[in-house]
Amino acid sequence: MSQEKIKVLFVCLGNICRSPSAEGVFLHYIEHEGLAERFEIDSAGTSAHHEGERADSRMRAHAARRGYDLLSLSRPLRYEDFFHYDYIIGMDEANRRTLLERAPTEEAAGKISILTDWAPNPLRDHVPDPYYGGSEGFELVLDLIEYCCPYLVGKMIKG
């Protein structure tokens, strides 16, 4: 008897820096832990501005140095996502607000969180957008995601 997969959607503004990084790091972590078959993971953006594009080249380079491949293509958040995914995880408060505004039902709104909500004592209360900054911003994104992933997986597996 197969167990139903835990479906997780990571969301940021353009789906080219933070959410594809969260998707890539999360996938790497669950594969390393032997849990990949228990999850379905994707990422999306609240904006369709970068639809079809790969993750930002700077983000891909920083991720690659840590052993992560960011392979997804940017896509916008869809209405159906609110029904398909069990968890919809934004990267900052602006993402959460947008997600809550678009949530079609109270049940869908209850699926929404910010990544850093899942971990005790994170370095920041959100994952800041590195797009207009330097390399330290991309490194911080990865640091925060790496810190949060074990807590996220642990809480999702335990229910």
Active site residues: 12, 18, 129
Structure tokens at 25: 């790091």
Number of helices and strands (H, E) in the chain?
6, 4
Q: Cβ atoms within 10 A of the Cβ of 49, count?
A: 13
Q: Say if CB 94 and CB 13 are below 8 A apart.
A: yes
5: which residues sit within 8 A by CB, 6+ positions away?
Answer: 37, 38, 39, 40
Q: Say if CB 154 and CB 124 are below 8 A apart.
A: no
